[in-house]
Structure 1
Amino acid sequence: MTGAIHDPARRGAAAETASTETRPPAAGHVPDGSGPDGEAGPAGSDAAGSDAAGGPDGRGLMGREALEPLVRTVLRALAEGAERRAGPVPAADPARLADEVARTLAAAGGDDALAALTRMLAYGSADPVDPFCAAHLHCPPLPVAVAADLAVSALNPSMDSWDQAPAATALETLVVAELAAMAGYPPGAAGVLTSGGTESNLMGLMLARDHVLGTATGRRVELSGLPGDGPRPRVFASAAAHFSVQRSAALLGLGEDAVVPVPVDHDLRMDATALEEAMAAAVRRGERPLAVVATAGTTDTGAIDPLRACAALAAEHGAWLHVDAAYGGGALLSDRLAPLLDGVALADSVSLDWHKLGWQPVAAGVFLVRRAETYASLARRAAYLNPADDEEAGYGALLGLSLRTTRRADAFSIAVTLRTLGRDGLGRLVDACHDLARAGAAAVRAHPRLELHADPVLTAFLFRYLPRDPARADRVNAGLRRRLLREGRAVVGRTELPGEGPGRVRLKLTLLNPDTTPAQVERLLHEVVAAGEAEEDASR
């Protein structure tokens, strides 16, 4: 995903590019056009001879003729802003950057506003194309996916009714079926595009609540609300599960305290024996196991919970199994890593995020259920969107599959990417990032001032800088990360291991750019060490 590598002397041979068949350049490197001077090539034949002032065909001010020069303006301004930034993040503290944003916004106006604000946005961004931007599950989107996203933005379909998105409605249905099959679901699965793992996790727990409590009480919980009596529902998730599990429980009226944190091992993987004991203890207290949330790819370490054991325990207690594979779902694209998700097909519902290990623009979340009938509590009829007579006549809508009404056609960029690269091509990108993480972990292990927490499972790993005074480890590691940000040198993640007390702060590299090289990762780690030494010296 070769992009604008802003400091060649520091990054060395960072810009080497793989075959364009399997690794198109990243969005930061999309050329302005096909002409010799970077101008756009000829418009399509349908644009030729059209009336630029508008006309009965609907083009003109709102059409392609207006869009093409604006896209060229954006591409130029992106390059100018990135050149000024000259690194993965601007060398500015938050207050200084906020002041510049405010001044630019106040000064922008008229025809120059697009260029001025785009330059400011590009300058003030953390650029995932840059190999030294490696903190989060924040991928550099594939240019083909960005181009597809532009088509969606230009056409602006809304997925809440067939007559706002005729082709996109059919396309999303087909894409969801393809992704469900990739997850191992049988025919009869269903799903929808979401804003990401948080929305998908909320949907999984909502359907769990409605199905499990509805079956137990004989009532439609989505209509009558939570029963005021009976066993208290409990949700079981690992201590390293995403915080959206607790947030979802609160939104669904279960309360955050309904979530039972299950202990994890050193790699932050759920302990299956501890899950068994926690569920048995809940039953002894007269509580009802409502759901097990298994994580396939924790945010910090990429750990994958024992999915088959989770499925067996959920089935034993009549609970719903939801697998949060927002990160780890990308392993399904890789022949090497797909076995890590053995058992995912047993889940009642699954979260996937294609804006992580799928290289899509945000948002490209996917929610899947193994059996379409479990979607029943989300069914919704709105006379102005999906009247019964329209649906009987074949004008089906996707309204009853989503928590949202207005919704972009985000399946389109996934479809374009799948047909452009194929599963094999995407799998090679996943494998390249996995190889990069393993090389980075080896470099950490070999450095005397760094300590690796655990070997990478997917494409991320935790580590820390070892100061001369071990008692200052947490403070120095937290401070060196802010120093790297402030100086515009690197974007490195920070987290804390589960538990209590000092010594839990860790740094994190999340490697999602398959064009980054092991040598660049090693140089990034040397930047971490240099920042750590500077932090120690500054506080003497």
Structure 2
Amino acid sequence: MENISYTNSTEREEFSAIIETPPFQDIFYEKTADAYRDAVDQAKELVMSFLENQQKPFSGITPAELGAQFKQIKFDTPLNSYDEMFAEVKELYVDHATAFHLPSYIAHLNCPVVIPALAAEVLISAINSSQDTWDQSAGGTLMERRLIDWTAEQIGFGPEADGVFTGGGSQSNLMGLLLARDYFALDRLGHNIKLDGNPAEYAKFRIFVSDKSHFSNQKNASLMGLGERSIIQVKTDSRFRMDIDALELAIQKELESGNIPIAIIATAGTTDFGNVDPLNKIGFLAEKHKLWMHVDAAYGCGLLLTDKHKYLLNGIELAHSVTIDYHKSFFQPISSSAFIVRDKKLLEIIRHHADYLNPKEENYEAYPAQINKSITQSTRRFDALKLWFTLRLMGREKLGEYIDTVIATAKEAASVIKADPMLELLSDSDISILVFRYKSIGVSPGNVCALNEFIKKKMFHTGEVLVASTKVDGNYYLKFTILNPLTTLQDIHKILNLIKTYGAAYLNN
């Protein structure tokens, strides 16, 4: 190497820094391992700060207050260091992030997450596999397939079952409805929707759901060109589960009107009440009328983990397809979901081949490609690794104990609410959601709604406790969604006392 002369020590140091700094220093590769380690260590410290300092589930900040800070951000002017970046993110995001792990968060279907899954996230992000084809994932493909097989076994499906991980329950429900429509058209009408679009009869297609089913059913019908009118809402019983007699009548009514029933979507764990539709009876009707049966078990899938409560899902094995949300009831970080079918041949309906990705002549028994089973995702994250870590380190039994715990806590909370003359419980729950309201004697129905809305907003803006709300028959109710095994009956008492305190304050104004 040619000798280089330097005019001073500063010049020597500057040149040394240049030759020691790797090219493309922000890219993750072998020469930037130290930089990666430092960045991840700082991220870890910020997470630890979040755990140690977050005392309530929400800061209470308003969109207007927080939004004002975002107006100062200039993306064309990068920050000078990770220190500055993490300080900014802490101020704009972490300090106000909702803390789902705290017992005082009892609002929506957000579970606390298990540590093995968080460890898996580190590998998922850095290695960055894509789950669409074998050459982009290899072992990841087989891990996902094994977890799909295991889930299918828990459902009660046989060896012919199959499925794929998805981005969430709404996407899985879309796949169920799409397969129901396409299978019906192909099997009963001899019409290939994938090639030729909706048949002439599509305007008469009807899908039956309970009036407490997830809103994604209406959205999905709209996206598929069937329109929301194709969704027939069936009334529910006293515990807000699909009424089987009403379902039979609804099917007959549509047939008599000249319409074409194609599917029933049952719910295993309603978003508002945590109750499970009568799956066995629905399966019988689906078979009787030759209808596709899909079970939305996005929330209720946690019952698969517990021998004590799994009976609530009796009949789920009769379904043609099932939605699973591991990020609701398996304590997984978002996103981690799946769509499972009873017979893998059903997935052939949606397969599409591209020469550059999954050519038709490829041997997919030898080189499996998960993209053959997906409808909306080509490049897809290796989210299955989180569940793999969880099951291999914790096992089904430990996760089942967590589910048993939240169910037990919900039952205890229901008893407390029923026993309190200032509270009114609307329904018991099969799983862990309680809909109720604060109700003082002598307050008019209209004022009861305003009273409970005040309580909800007051708690939200103080950030002390986060509860959800809903409307039933036009009336406003508060809602507990208990998904945290750390939540105790003592926590429930504290939350209810706070509700009553704010309720009394409202009435005394």
| TM-score calculated relative to the size of structure 1 | 0.85
1:470 counterpart residue number: 444
Instruction: List per-residue Cα deviations over 1:245-280 (Å, max 9, x = no partner).
Output: 111111111110100000001211000000001001
Instruction: Tell me whether 1:91 sits opposite 2:60 in the alignment.
Output: yes
Matched residues in 2 for 1:449 and 1:470: separation? 14
What secondary structure sits across from 1:356 in the alignment? Answer: helix
1:349 counterpart residue number: 321
Of the three residues 414, 417, 435, the one matched with 1:441 is 414
Of the three residues 209, 226, 246, the one matched with 2:218 is 246
**Paired residues of 2:66 and 2:92 also in contact (CA < 8 A):** no
CA change 1:152–1:449 in 2 (3 A) is same
2:480 counterpart residue number: 509
Matched residues in 1 for 2:440 and 2:66: separation? 30
What secondary structure sits across from 2:30 in the alignment? Answer: coil
Residue 284 (structure 1) shift: 1.0
Larger radius of gyration: 2
**Paired residues of 2:241 and 2:277 also in contact (CA < 8 A):** yes
CA change 1:134–1:100 in 2 (3 A) is farther
* Divergent runs of 4+, >6 A: 104-108
CA change 1:59–1:344 in 2 (3 A) is same
Residue 121 (structure 1) shift: 1.9
Instruction: Tell me whether 1:528 sits opposite 2:499 in the alignment.
Output: yes
Matched residues in 2 for 1:67 and 1:536: separation? 57
Of the three residues 112, 126, 139, the one matched with 1:154 is 126
Residue 392 (structure 1) shift: 5.8
Instruction: Tell me whether 1:213 sits opposite 2:185 in the alignment.
Output: yes
Instruction: List per-residue Cα deviations over 1:188-231 (Å, max 9, x = no partner).
Output: 10100011110000000000000012112111112111112477
2:44 counterpart residue number: 75
Matched residues in 2 for 1:288 and 1:425: separation? 45
Residue 428 (structure 1) shift: 0.3
Q: Which amino acid aligns with 1:78?
A: V
Instruction: List per-residue Cα deviations over 1:111-147 (Å, max 9, x = no partner).
Output: 1213430453221111111111110000111111111
2:389 counterpart residue number: 416
CA change 1:528–1:52 in 2 (3 A) is farther
Matched residues in 2 for 1:515 and 1:495: separation? 25
Matched residues in 2 for 1:318 and 1:483: separation? 50
Matched residues in 1 for 2:196 and 2:188: separation? 14
Q: Which amino acid aligns with 2:271?
A: T
Q: What does 1:241-320 align with in structure 2 at a 5 Å threshold?
A: 241-320=213-292
CA change 1:393–1:192 in 2 (3 A) is closer
Matched residues in 2 for 1:204 and 1:395: separation? 26
Instruction: Tell me whether 1:400 sits opposite 2:372 in the alignment.
Output: yes
Matched residues in 1 for 2:98 and 2:491: separation? 17
Instruction: List per-residue Cα deviations over 1:439-470 (Å, max 9, x = no partner).
Output: 21122122232111122210111111114513
Matched residues in 1 for 2:194 and 2:280: separation? 29
Matched residues in 1 for 2:405 and 2:470: separation? 25
What secondary structure sits across from 1:213 in the alignment? Answer: helix
Residue 99 (structure 1) shift: 2.7
CA change 1:455–1:392 in 2 (3 A) is closer
**Paired residues of 1:104 and 1:120 also in contact (CA < 8 A):** no
CA change 1:392–1:314 in 2 (3 A) is closer
Instruction: List per-residue Cα deviations over 1:63-91 (Å, max 9, x = no partner).
Output: 4x333222221222234456665311003
What secondary structure sits across from 1:492 in the alignment? Answer: strand
What secondary structure sits across from 2:287 in the alignment? Answer: helix
Higher mean C-alpha displacement, 476-485 vs 347-356: 476-485
Matched residues in 2 for 1:494 and 1:132: separation? 15
Higher mean C-alpha displacement, 431-440 vs 111-120: 111-120
**Paired residues of 2:354 and 2:360 also in contact (CA < 8 A):** no
Return 5+ residue gaps in structure 1 as ranges. 1-50
Q: How many residues align?
A: 482
Matched residues in 2 for 1:323 and 1:437: separation? 23
1:189 counterpart residue number: 161
Residue 487 (structure 1) shift: 0.8
**Paired residues of 2:202 and 2:226 also in contact (CA < 8 A):** no
2:470 counterpart residue number: 495
Matched residues in 1 for 2:37 and 2:206: separation? 54
Instruction: Tell me whether 1:66 sits opposite 2:21 in the alignment.
Output: no
Matched residues in 2 for 1:392 and 1:434: separation? 42
CA change 1:358–1:211 in 2 (3 A) is same
Matched residues in 1 for 2:430 and 2:70: separation? 39
1:485 counterpart residue number: 460
2:142 counterpart residue number: 170
**Paired residues of 1:81 and 1:119 also in contact (CA < 8 A):** no
CA change 1:479–1:427 in 2 (3 A) is same
Return 5+ residue gaps in structure 2 as ranges. 1-19
What secondary structure sits across from 1:524 in the alignment? Answer: helix
Residue 103 (structure 1) shift: 4.9
Matched residues in 1 for 2:183 and 2:235: separation? 27
Identity %: 34
Matched residues in 1 for 2:186 and 2:36: separation? 51
CA change 1:102–1:461 in 2 (3 A) is farther
CA change 1:69–1:294 in 2 (3 A) is same
2:8 counterpart residue number: none
**Paired residues of 1:82 and 1:123 also in contact (CA < 8 A):** no
Root-mean-square deviation (CA), in Å? 2.2
Of the three residues 57, 80, 85, the one matched with 1:110 is 80
Of the three residues 358, 363, 368, the one matched with 1:386 is 358
Higher mean C-alpha displacement, 381-390 vs 241-250: 381-390
2:7 counterpart residue number: none
1:4 counterpart residue number: none
Of the three residues 430, 447, 453, the one matched with 1:457 is 430
CA change 1:421–1:330 in 2 (3 A) is same
What secondary structure sits across from 1:355 in the alignment? Answer: helix
